[in-house]
Amino acid sequence: MHGGLTAFGVEVIRRCNQLGIVVDVAHGTYELVKKAASATTKPLVLSHTSLTERPAAWTRRILPDHARAIAATGGVIGIWPVLAYFPNIVAYADGFAHMVDVVGINHVGLGTDQLGLPGGSTMPSYADLPQLAAALRGKFSPEETAKLLGGNYRRVFAASLPS
């Protein structure tokens, strides 16, 4: 509607950068994300999504180029545990691996917005994190698993603090 991001939106992002506020573009279109990426001086977060090759209207799922735009800022993409996309923890870990293949290990994390899921969750409670960690350790080293389960977000939050 506004070409992705208005001039006021650009100013909001710049002010958030100055104040140490992490900008989450999870509900933004690809056009918005591209403009946000060009405006920001700090890493962006896309807190809940997964990859798709066939985007549908009103979906949170993104194409690889959308993910790469976030990664190019140094940001993190959170993999959302939507049961319809990931029917079990192993499939959910595969979703992490698919995103890692596209953007690299430093730009993927655990998806948020557990209460906003459309339908059921692959991981109904954070008490299920040990099962997810075990599934991820089957694909990644312990150090990489630590990045996926919080380390990458920690890096982004630290980078977002005012200098």
Under a CB-based contact definition with an 8 Å cutoff, are residues 44 and 36 in contact? yes
Assigned domain for 1 exists: no
What is this structure's pTM? 0.94
- Indicate the SS3 state at residue 2: coil
* CA gap 43, 23 in Å, rounded: 8
**Tell me: the pLDDT tens digits for 61-98?**
999 999 999 999 999 999 999 999 999 999 999 999 99
Q: Note the pLDDT of residue 2.
A: 62
| Residue 59 pLDDT greater than 90, yes or no | no
Crossing angle of the two packed helices 129-137 and 89-103, in degrees rounded to 10: 50
Assigned domain for 24 exists: yes
Q: What is the DSSP string of 73-140?
A: TT-EEEEP-BTTT-SSHHHHHHHHHHHHHHH-GGGEEE---GGG-SS-BSSSSGGGHHHHHHHHHTTS
Lookup: tokens for 160: 């977002």
Count: domains in the chain:
1
Q: Which domain holds residue 39?
A: 7-160
Rounded to an integer, the average pLDDT of 10-23 is 97
Assigned domain for 87 exists: yes
**Tell me: the pLDDT tens digits for 100-133?**
999 999 999 999 887 778 788 999 888 999 999 9
Assigned domain for 43 exists: yes
Q: Note the pLDDT of residue 13.
A: 98
CA-based radius of gyration for the chain: 15
* CA gap 76, 155 in Å, rounded: 9
What's 137's domain CATH number? 3.20.20.140
Assigned domain for 44 exists: yes
Assigned domain for 120 exists: yes
Structure-token match 């200098």, residue found: 163
Q: Note the pLDDT of residue 157.
A: 97
Mean pLDDT of the chain: 93
Assigned domain for 42 exists: yes
Assigned domain for 2 exists: no
| Residue 162 pLDDT greater than 90, yes or no | no
Structure-token match 């899921």, residue found: 117
- Indicate the SS3 state at residue 12: helix
